[in-house]
Structure 1
């Protein structure tokens, strides 16, 4: 008689406890990731090659440990699904090619694509940014496209320069891979059973955004700006990293792959934020603003078609929630 009477209450209590463990596990991963950057005591700036190598080693180690955290959570929460930990984290073969190509194409449509990165680049953009670049290029779109193809397929020297640059490797390879694996691949499977897939898309990026506040420590140590300026910059960074994190979380939930978020992350790191202020001051202002607007509209129109599960098969992370799951 007592078991049926108290069963539902105990089940609710267990669910609340499990949710707290999910949140604390995500917080632990975020703290491990950021904390690993500061285990190396040094007065060197963050962009010094030696510091970059040490920090890359630290975050790669945390990323390698993240599947163990997910596995421990599955054991504690008694989660049993027909998928491995790696599959839940988006590391799988089914639908790999479209998962790599389509989300990146979607991101390019919205923001633009660069043919070279950091110090070694000539820019070619799609839609708004591409129109901006083509207008300023005497050879127009043809010249921009040729520059892109030359860099991708024949400019071996530029690729060598990029690969040898520690800053490039951090921004384009290590940071996208490790951050997406930890903040999307590991956190979303733990959050989904507790919050549901849609809420998880907007919850996981908060950990990602807050994690970037560690740059305040760097800025204060270097004493380059006032505290108010540092906080304002950090607030803006929190805003756009959280928005971007929601986008890549959406990609992860819709495709079941981590490769799409990684490539989109790497691409956006190479681009930075769109230079709207430059477009506003350009002689062809109306045409540029129209092309930027068209890019945003196309992004919204293609968002769901290009992330349709038809291209990617069954999504392992969606097996953690009972249907219907709107984000899946």
Structure 2
């Protein structure tokens, strides 16, 4: 009985932390949508406060013996040894997974946008928040993005706060009672479930309940899958920066647009589909060697 209570203690801590994180986004009474600057600024403050609260959960619910072995900062994945490798290798690995979509971006001219030869992609204020780039002579792509609150939210603040709370602060709690592979499987469920808050926002826009629920279930599936990958990166590298950069990159790429690929004429369509398959297979083969803990001087959690 004591062992069962001990196992459920970190699970309840993670569940509570998930609820508090989501609730912090909705404490503000506002008639505006999530994409309005006023709402975004308030939520920035919420996740900043959560970044202060989340480590307290880890400090309180983690067994003292773990903090005797590693400092709180090291447990959070905030350490210097292997930092450069953690910034580069997981990103390159994730780019291999997106080989097909990356090549497709090259054909569509988006790479020229990144280089500053065309204007940045204008983010549409709809659920996908994506649309085709407007081509002009404006070269200030990155500067315009940094000054765009939606861009900062999607690619900096959201990945930073979510990875810090759901990976850096939750995973160590689960790793003290579960085997590594089990913890990597369990942790993403909290992350995926946290995205069900978008169901409320979809219903507020007038979307039918059935349609909103279907989209939310699909979002739960792919965010949980990504959460597992992100948790794997955190445990294998022992670095917070690894899942953060991978998360930001995946947010940028979005879910692969299969409809766009199928709309291409032959032989480009077949080539893109082949590249998607090659990227997936190559990623699967590289996953273990590219995240070998020894590359990152990591002896924190992997066992």
Structure 1 residues 221 and 146: CA distance shift in structure 2, 3 A = closer
Q: CA deviation at 1:94?
A: 0.8
1:220 paired to 2:208 = no
Q: Residue 313 of structure 1 corresponds to which residue in structure 2?
A: 297
- Which residue matches 1:290? 274
The answer to whether residue 43 in structure 2 is matched with residue 71 in structure 1 is: no
Are 1:67 and 1:86, in contact at CA under 8 Å, matched by a contact in 2? Answer: no
> Greater helix percent: which structure?
1
Between the aligned partners of 2:236 and 2:258, the Cα distance in structure 1 is 30
Question: Residue 100 of structure 2 corresponds to which residue in structure 1?
Answer: 128
Structure 1 residues 42 and 150, CA gap change in structure 2 (3 angstroms)? closer
Q: Which residue of 2 aligns with 1:16?
A: 4
Alignment partners' CA distance in 2, 1:171 and 1:288: 27
3-state secondary structure, aligned to 1:298: helix
Alignment partner, residue 62 of structure 1: 50
Q: Is the 8 A contact 1:180 1:258 kept in 2?
A: yes
Residue among 130, 135, 158 paired with 1:175: 158
Match of 2:24 in 1: 36
Is the 2:81–2:296 Cα contact (8 Å) retained in structure 1?
A: yes
- Looking at structure 2, the residues matched to 80 and 128 of structure 1 have their Cα atoms a distance apart, in angstroms, of 43
Query: Aligned ranges for residues 85-164 of structure 1 at < 5 Å?
Result: 85-111=72-98, 127-135=99-107, 148-150=114-116, 157-164=140-147
Provide the rounded CA distance (Å) in 2 between the counterparts of 1:170 and 1:69: 24
Give the conservation status (yes or no) of the 8 Å contact 2:62–2:176: no
1:262 to partner: Cα distance: 0.5
Segments of structure 1 that go 5 or more residues without pairing to the other structure are 1-12, 112-126, 138-143, 319-324
Structure of greater Rg: 1
Shift of 1:74: 2.4
Q: 2: CA distance between counterparts of 1:254 and 1:148?
A: 31
- Cα pair distance change 1:218/1:69, threshold 3 Å: same
CA offset at residue 310 of structure 1?
A: 2.1
> Over the residues paired in the alignment, what is the CA RMSD in angstroms?
1.9
Match of 2:167 in 1: 184
**Alpha-carbon distance between aligned partners in 2 of 1:158 and 1:148, rounded to the nearest angstrom:** 7
Is the Cα–Cα contact under 8 Å of residues 89 and 317 in structure 1 kept in the other structure? Answer: no
1:98-117 CA-partner distances (Å, limit 9, x unpaired): 00110011111111xxxxxx
Residue 316 of structure 1: how far off its partner (Å): 1.9
> Is 2:228 the partner of 1:246?
yes
Q: Determine the C-alpha separation between the residues in 1 that align with 2:287 and 2:83.
A: 18
Structure 2: state its 5+ residue gaps: 118-137
- What corresponds to 1:269 in structure 2? 251
Q: 2:181 aligns with which of 198, 209, 216?
A: 198
Q: In 2, Cα distance between the equivalents of 1:130 and 1:175?
A: 22
Counterpart contact for 1:109–1:295, Cα < 8 Å: yes
Against the structure 1 CA distance between its residues 79 and 95, is the aligned structure 2 distance closer, same or farther, given a 3 Å change threshold?
closer
1:207 matched to 2:207: no
**How far has the Cα of 1:150 moved from its partner?**
4.8
Give secondary structure in 2 for the equivalent of 1:316: coil
Which residue in 2 is equivalent to 1:9? none
8 Å CA contact 2:114–2:141 kept in 1: the answer is no
Name the CA distance, whole Å, in 2 between partners of 1:255 and 1:87: 12
Structure 1 residue 67, shift from structure 2 partner: 1.2
CA distance in 2, matches of 1:78, 1:14: 18
Which residue of structure 2 aligns with residue 322 of structure 1? none
